[in-house]
Amino acid sequence: MTGAGTDKTRPMIAGGPAIVLVRPQLAVNIGMCARAMANFGLDDLRLVAPREGWPRHDEHRETAYAAAAGASHLLDGAKVFATLEEAVADLNYVWATTARERGQGKRVSPPAIAMSESASKIASGEKHGILFGPERTGLNNDDVALADGIVTFPVNPAYASLNLAQAVLLTGYDYFRASQGDALPFVLPDRSPPAEREAIVSFFAFFEKALEERDFFRPISKKPLMQRNLRNMFHRMQLTRQDVRTLWGVVVRLTEGPRLTIQTRKRTGPKQTPKKVREPEA
């Protein structure tokens, strides 16, 4: 299963810190973590003593791969370790994620600062990793003792527990921003050029004439004020050339009624054809 934002024609960003899931309990959460990693270009998934083993070959395999939503390559390439020491042996710097103060005298950073530092160090050739604990209890003190620093999230202190995949997602987001910048995957498409004042004024004249013919400006003493209000409404829209053409066509159709087809003209005759108001080309 893939999501609506998946585009396999574009190059896959990869790299970043290792995501180390310590004693993960649920296959579905491993799948969701893989999806979060793929969102932000992380490709090193490490599993330490998963509770029910890995890779899965039972009924939970389909659940895990469905939760990964197309990031199955990360599940297929996940490295499995018996101990945390083995999982972090090749890393130069390790962050531990926790919502609780551990009294270990380690530096504590929010993910934005921690991941900015890691992005810089990884770019220079270092290998970094981030530890995430079991879903129910989080990392224990011995796990945290193996880390160089602590990452904690600025959340509601009365409810600081995060879902495992959410924690991976938030950390991955800050790493991606630090390493790739804030460029968005798409931007507002080019609009039609701004309308020239002459076109806007001509539209106002046509529009106001149609309103006047239908007794819109009442009482007549307030006509100048009503005209200014209407014009200012349109000016605030910053009309484009296409906007003016479209609005002109809308007013024409409202004043003339439906377009007459050739068959309708033959049935009604030329005398019933309403007076044609010239529309700008669309």
Shared domain check, 253 and 175: no
The predicted pLDDT at position 276 comes to 54
CATH number of the domain residue 159 falls in:
3.40.1280.10
Query: Does residue 246 share a domain with residue 176?
Result: no
- How confident is the model at residue 257, as a pLDDT? 86
Encoding tokens for residue 29? Answer: 């959460």
Residue 9 lies in a domain: no
Q: What is the DSSP letter of 131?
A: E
Q: How many domains does the chain have?
A: 2
- Are residues 173 and 221 located together in one domain of the fold? no
Give the Cα separation of 138 and 100 in Å (integer). Answer: 9
Same domain, 138 and 215: no
Degrees to nearest 5, angle at CA 226 with 220 and 228: 130
Residues of the chain with pLDDT under 70: 1-10, 56, 261-282
Please state, in angstroms and rounded to a whole number, the distance separating the CA atoms of residues 260 and 82: 79
Q: How far apart are CA 251 and CA 98, in angstroms?
A: 62
Domain membership of residue 227 (yes or no) is yes
Q: Which residues constitute the domain of residue 246?
A: 197-272
Dihedral over Cα of 197, 203, 209, 212: its sign = negative
pLDDT of residue 230: 95
Predicted pLDDT of residue 279? 57
Round to whole Å and give the CA distance between 154 and 190: 38
* 96/131 same-domain check: yes
Prediction pTM value: 0.69
| Same domain membership, residue 119 and residue 73 | yes
pLDDT of residue 227: 95
pLDDT for 20 equals 98
41 contacts 173 by C-beta, under 8 angstroms: no
Residue 282 within any structural domain of the chain: no
Check whether residue 131 and residue 258 sit in a common domain.
Answer: no
138 and 217 within one domain: no
Q: Residue 200 is encoded by which pair of tokens?
A: 């806007």
Rg (CA), the chain: 31
